[in-house]
Amino acid sequence: MKPNETSWNTPREEADFVDLTIDEWGNDHGLSAYDTPMREDAFELSDVEKVAKIEHHFREIMETLGLDLTDDSLKGTPHRVAKMYVREIFSGLNPKNKPKATLFDNKYKYNEMLVEKDISFYSNCEHHFVPIFGKAHVAYISSGKVIGLSKLNRIVQYFAKRPQVQERLTVQIGKELQQILQTEDVAVVMDAKHLCVASRGVQDDSSTTVTAFYGGKFKDEATKNEFLKYL
C-alpha cells in the first residue's frame, strides 16, 4: 500500500469516511476561492430553460422523499422552487443582474467617512443550501466621487443572492465597492445567522458570525475604531 493510502475493510467504511469528510468541510466553513465557483457554460441555458430543468429535478427529490405531488398543496412546489432559485435567491449568479452604479462628483466636498449600516441581506450557505441572513454595514471615504445610497444596498444584495460563505461575501462586497468608488478606503462588516448552524448540525440558535473587510485608511486603527463606533 502506498504512503498516505487508506485501506477499507468494507465499502460502507469508505462511504462513511467520505460522508464525514464532506460534513467536516461544510461544518468548518471551508472557503475555496474569492470568486464564486462557476462553470464556463454557466449561462448557456436561458432562465426559462433553467427553471424547467430545476423543476424536473426538484420533483424527483420530492418524490424520492415520498411526498405525494398530486396533493393540491405540493403539486406546484417544484415549479415554485425552481423559479425562486433562478429569479430570486440565486439571481446574483448572473452578471446581467448586477446593479448599475453611477458615480457623482462630490460637490459637497464631504471628506469624512460615509456609513450605511443595518443593510438587511439574505443569502444561502453553499454547503447546505440553507439561509444565511443578517445585517451588513459598509463605509467609504470619497476620493472625489460619491454613489447613490440605495446602490450600496443593491450591491450587498447582488452578491448575497448566490450560494455563499460569509467570508467570501464580505470580500466580494468590499472589492466591488473599491472598484466602483475608485478608492481603497472601504470597510465592510457583516453580522449574520447561519441556519446550517442553527437548524442542523450543532443546532446553536443563539450564535451569529461576524466578518470584516478593511481597505486603505480603514486599516488605520483610529479610522477603523471611528467606523466601529457608529455601529
Cα–Cα distance between 147 and 176 in angstroms, integer?
13
Confidence of residue 210 (pLDDT cuts 50, 70, 90): very high
Instruction: Assess whether 194 carries a catalytic annotation.
Output: yes
Instruction: Assess whether 13 carries a catalytic annotation.
Output: no
Model pLDDT, residue 27: 53
At 24, which helix (H) or strand (E)?
helix 11-27
Instruction: Assess whether 167 carries a catalytic annotation.
Output: no
Q: Give the closest residue to 90 by CA, choosing from 164, 197, 156, 7.
A: 164
Q: Which three cell numbers stand for residue 218?
A: 480603514
Residue 58 burial (10 A CB sphere; 0-12, 13-18, 19+): middle
Model pLDDT, residue 199: 84
pTM: 0.84
Catalytic residue among 127, 137, 172, 176: 127
Residues forming a β-bridge with 187 = 139, 214
Q: Which three cell numbers stand for residue 32?
A: 475555496
Instruction: Assess whether 56 carries a catalytic annotation.
Output: no
Cα–Cα distance between 162 and 94 in angstroms, integer?
9
Model pLDDT, residue 197: 82
Model pLDDT, residue 63: 98
Instruction: Assess whether 182 carries a catalytic annotation.
Output: no
10 versus 92: which is more confidently predicted?
92
**Residue matched to cell numbers 462553470:** 39
The whole-chain average pLDDT of the chain stands at 89
Average pLDDT over residues 94-117: 94
Catalytic residue among 55, 137, 157, 194: 194
* Whether the predicted pLDDT of 196 surpasses 60: yes
Cα–Cα–Cα angle for 211, 140, 215, nearest 5°?
55
